[in-house]
Chain A
Amino acid sequence: MLPADPITLRTFDGGCRTRTTVMRPDRYRQLGQLELPLTVRGGGYSYSAASFAADRPVLDLRAFNRVLRFAPEAGEVEVEAGLTLGALLQFLTPRGFWCPVIPGYPAITVGGCIAADVHGKSHSLHGNFRKWTKQIALAGLGPGLTFCSREQNAELFELSCGGLGLTGPIVRATLRIVPLLGGQVSTERTPVQSVQQGYELLRSAETNAEFAYSWHRPWCVGDRSFGPGFVFRGATVPGTPLPRPEEFAYRPLAPDASDRRLPASLFGGPGNLGTRAAYVVAAAMQANRRMMTDSLFASLFPFVAQAHYFHAFGRRGLQEVQVLVPHVSACSFLDELEALCRETRPPAAVIALKLFHGESFALRYDGEGLSIAIDMARHPAADRFLDRFDDLCRDYRPRLNLLKDSRLGRALFEHCYPEAEDFRRALRRNGLLGRYGSTLAARLGLA
């Protein structure tokens, strides 16, 4: 048995806190001495409690963070899954390669990206992380590592990609990489008056932008529009100098974002007016700034420079919901969301839209449609909004991002994920049900 240290872990959104123990193996032979049940942890940045539980120790695999093989001619890199995305890009991009599915924070591990099957800002073009994962190696299934790919142990591979770590520790991964055309990213920022207008613009931009997303202020401007904001469309600039490794230096946020949180939230309550005023002033100052050119790092990870965004939610933290609504019902969903916001006035900070072009399977947050994320402060008004938002989800049955919502209950999950029972059965068939779990998995009835 590996030695374990007591630790208090908290979700990134601050919604769940647990006292548990953590084991930090740093040798391969230690992976053969694991005693189950366990929770597998990567960077620990999930908004819901996917990487810890009170009733089982946590296995922290961040010491397995080495680059094992770099084969540019084959378009592959093999790494240990504890490697962070920031470190992966720090290695790949100066050599003229990258993996273009990059979620918003560089301290997330490759294993976490696979287990959560994350998406970046370019889902409609590049898909989810699974699309770029060729092979993984799982520990805990036999005496050594168990290699899984689309050809070998295919069921385990499919279950592990987006499987929330319930198939065991992912120790190694072979990723597909492509040439990086330049080290600068040019972004066009177009103001829009409403979320509906943002959605229309995103759809029209889908074919000619490398990435596209929109951010909206969740305000109702009179009776006319809801969610003024900006649509961002951009691409790497071919021929610009490739990034230097030192461009990837940053000071990571604590996994629960608690290191410098303000005493109270600036969203909702008395701070809200000041925040709105600051928004208006900032927007007015940047009104003419339509084209922006940034370094790749700053474009991929805007929250590294804007960590104060998370601190502004105060000590109680934030709440996020993210849903994927099929295009056929996206417009009416946005209209109902507008009506709900007008009625309940949630202390929301931002609404973010992205287009998805994929296929839903098992627990993955993937499919075809519009992804809508809403960040809000922990506040009674947010609870009122979220209760009604759940009703909306019951009606529309969108895909829910299980890793973003730390209060999502089993009933709504099973209502929106009819595949949940198939996933449980597959875990049982492979002898994995209950071996690995988390507070999130217990809440959703998956462990």
Chain B
Amino acid sequence: MSPPASPPLAKTQTALIVGSTAGLGRALAEHFATQGWDLVITGRDDRDLYALASDLRLRAGVGVWPLTLDLNQPGCSWSLSATLGQRTAIQAVLLPAGAVDPADEMAADETLAAGLVRGNFLGLAEVVRQALPHLDTNGATIVGFGSIAACRGRSRNVYYGAAKRALAAYFEALRHSLAPRLVRVQYYVLGYIDTQLAAGQPLRLPKGDPHELAKLVRRSLHRDLGTRYFPYWWSPLCFALRILPWPLFQRLKF
């Protein structure tokens, strides 16, 4: 398949979705497309990316520009800027991309650790940097997705949790720095979501529906949310976990 041309000057609303080929990213892409949004979608694997692009174009009848993008590769987002072009106005940047690894422990090797930090934090920050000049000056929203794994460090998901905590700090900084502009910055802290990330794990609490989350994200785009938990009941749980005294926390196995 030939690389897509840059999207034309937007007449309808356009969203950039990074990591759109599976899980939450795909749910977001499908929901935004059914609501008539044009999309710039990215993913690592052309097979998934072009299949999704065809499906959205055919079924939702919207404009879709797929772009192969591997967040683990430094400089990955240079091609993004070229695709968006100087004339495209983006109204929403959604960043559901992320990666976990079962070997993510203290003893994880450097390559794995670096990959997790890039895929869950640095790569996303790079995308935001590239997308900022293309945001609609009349108002746009940047949405990041964190994890309850960053609530408190533990012996599992070590680098994933650390990267997500860095991402939370980055989004706080981003919100602060973009406050004077008409750009809203939202950050969702996600509990268990019914995607591949949660598959095969013995979870003690129910999983959230990615399609419900996609609807919530679109409905809330024009609100100044700051940080929000999904499912919402993770908010008090994370608060309780954060204030749990160390002698008790160190005994928890999860």
Q: Which residues of A contact B (CB under 8 A)?
A: 2-5, 23-29, 63, 66-70, 80, 91
Q: How far is the CA of A25 from the CA of B201 in the complex (A)?
A: 15
> Are A67 and B58 neighbours in the complex by a CB distance under 8 Å?
yes
With A26-B26, A66-B55 in contact, do A3 and B48 touch (Cβ < 8 Å)? no
> Are A67 and B59 neighbours in the complex by a CB distance under 8 Å?
yes
**Residues on the A chain within 8 Å of B201, using CB:** 3
Given contact pairs A27-B21, A28-B48, enumerate 15 new A-B contacts (beta carbons under 8 Å): A2-B199, A3-B201, A5-B200, A24-B196, A24-B199, A26-B22, A27-B22, A27-B196, A28-B45, A66-B52, A67-B54, A68-B51, A68-B55, A69-B54, A69-B58
**Residues on the A chain within 8 Å of B59, using CB:** 67, 91
Q: How far is the CA of A5 from the CA of B22 in the complex (A)?
A: 18
- A28, closest chain B residue (CB): B47
B231 at the binding interface (Cβ < 8 Å): no
> Are B21 and A67 neighbours in the complex by a CB distance under 8 Å?
no
> Are B196 and A67 neighbours in the complex by a CB distance under 8 Å?
no
With A5-B199, A66-B52 in contact, do A26 and B23 touch (Cβ < 8 Å)? yes
Chosen A-B contacts, 10 in total, with CB atoms closer than 8 Å, are: A24-B199, A25-B196, A26-B195, A26-B196, A28-B51, A66-B51, A66-B54, A67-B55, A68-B55, A91-B59
Q: How far is the CA of A28 from the CA of B45 in the complex (A)?
A: 8
**Residues on the A chain within 8 Å of B48, using CB:** 27-28
Q: How far is the CA of A66 from the CA of B45 in the complex (A)?
A: 16
Q: Which residues of B contact A (CB under 8 A)?
A: 21-23, 26, 45, 47-48, 51-52, 54-55, 58-59, 195-196, 199-201
**Residues on the A chain within 8 Å of B55, using CB:** 66-68
Q: How far is the CA of A3 from the CA of B196 in the complex (A)?
A: 8
Q: How far is the CA of A23 from the CA of B196 in the complex (A)?
A: 9
> Are B199 and A68 neighbours in the complex by a CB distance under 8 Å?
no
**Residues on the B chain within 8 Å of A5, using CB:** 199-200
Return A89 CB to nearest CB of chain B, in Å: 13
Q: How far is the CA of A91 from the CA of B54 in the complex (A)?
A: 13
Closest 4 CB pairs of A and B: A3-B200, A66-B55, A28-B47, A3-B199
**Residues on the B chain within 8 Å of A67, using CB:** 54-55, 58-59
> Are B51 and A80 neighbours in the complex by a CB distance under 8 Å?
yes
**Residues on the A chain within 8 Å of B47, using CB:** 28-29
**Residues on the A chain within 8 Å of B196, using CB:** 3, 24-27
Return B177 CB to nearest CB of chain A, in Å: 35
Q: How far is the CA of A67 from the CA of B22 in the complex (A)?
A: 16
**Residues on the A chain within 8 Å of B22, using CB:** 26-27, 63
Return B99 CB to nearest CB of chain A, in Å: 12
**Residues on the B chain within 8 Å of A68, using CB:** 51, 54-55
- A1, closest chain B residue (CB): B200
**Residues on the B chain within 8 Å of A29, using CB:** 45, 47
Return A67 CB to nearest CB of chain B, in Å: 5
**Residues on the A chain within 8 Å of B51, using CB:** 28, 66, 68, 80
- B21, closest chain A residue (CB): A27
Q: How far is the CA of A5 from the CA of B54 in the complex (A)?
A: 30
- A30, closest chain B residue (CB): B196
**Residues on the A chain within 8 Å of B199, using CB:** 2-5, 23-24
**Residues on the A chain within 8 Å of B195, using CB:** 26
**Residues on the A chain within 8 Å of B200, using CB:** 2-5
**Residues on the A chain within 8 Å of B21, using CB:** 27
Return A245 CB to nearest CB of chain B, in Å: 9
Of A24, A26, A66, most buried by chain B (CB within 10 Å of CB) is A66
Q: How far is the CA of A67 from the CA of B200 in the complex (A)?
A: 28
Q: How far is the CA of A80 from the CA of B223 in the complex (A)?
A: 37
> Are A27 and B58 neighbours in the complex by a CB distance under 8 Å?
no
- B195, closest chain A residue (CB): A26
**Residues on the B chain within 8 Å of A23, using CB:** 199
**Residues on the B chain within 8 Å of A66, using CB:** 51-52, 54-55
Q: How far is the CA of A3 from the CA of B59 in the complex (A)?
A: 30
Of A24, A27, A67, A68, most buried by chain B (CB within 10 Å of CB) is A27
**Residues on the B chain within 8 Å of A69, using CB:** 54, 58
> Are B45 and A27 neighbours in the complex by a CB distance under 8 Å?
yes
**Residues on the B chain within 8 Å of A2, using CB:** 199-200
- A63, closest chain B residue (CB): B22
Return A37 CB to nearest CB of chain B, in Å: 18
**Residues on the B chain within 8 Å of A27, using CB:** 21-22, 45, 48, 196
Return A80 CB to nearest CB of chain B, in Å: 7
Return A248 CB to nearest CB of chain B, in Å: 12
Q: How far is the CA of A70 from the CA of B200 in the complex (A)?
A: 36
**Residues on the B chain within 8 Å of A24, using CB:** 196, 199
**Residues on the A chain within 8 Å of B23, using CB:** 26
- A68, closest chain B residue (CB): B54
Return A147 CB to nearest CB of chain B, in Å: 14
Contacting A91 at CB < 8 Å: which of B26, B45, B58?
A: B58
Q: How far is the CA of A24 from the CA of B51 in the complex (A)?
A: 18
**Residues on the B chain within 8 Å of A80, using CB:** 51
> Are A70 and B45 neighbours in the complex by a CB distance under 8 Å?
no
Of B21, B23, B47, most buried by chain A (CB within 10 Å of CB) is B47
Q: How far is the CA of A388 from the CA of B54 in the complex (A)?
A: 53
Return A435 CB to nearest CB of chain B, in Å: 22
**Residues on the B chain within 8 Å of A91, using CB:** 58-59
Return A73 CB to nearest CB of chain B, in Å: 15
- B30, closest chain A residue (CB): A66
Q: How far is the CA of A3 from the CA of B200 in the complex (A)?
A: 5
Q: How far is the CA of A29 from the CA of B48 in the complex (A)?
A: 9
**Residues on the B chain within 8 Å of A3, using CB:** 196, 199-201
Return A77 CB to nearest CB of chain B, in Å: 9
Q: How far is the CA of A2 from the CA of B197 in the complex (A)?
A: 11
Return B51 CB to nearest CB of chain A, in Å: 5
Q: How far is the CA of A27 from the CA of B21 in the complex (A)?
A: 8
- A31, closest chain B residue (CB): B47
Q: How far is the CA of A143 from the CA of B118 in the complex (A)?
A: 28
- A66, closest chain B residue (CB): B55
Q: How far is the CA of A80 from the CA of B47 in the complex (A)?
A: 12
Return B98 CB to nearest CB of chain A, in Å: 14
Q: How far is the CA of A2 from the CA of B196 in the complex (A)?
A: 9
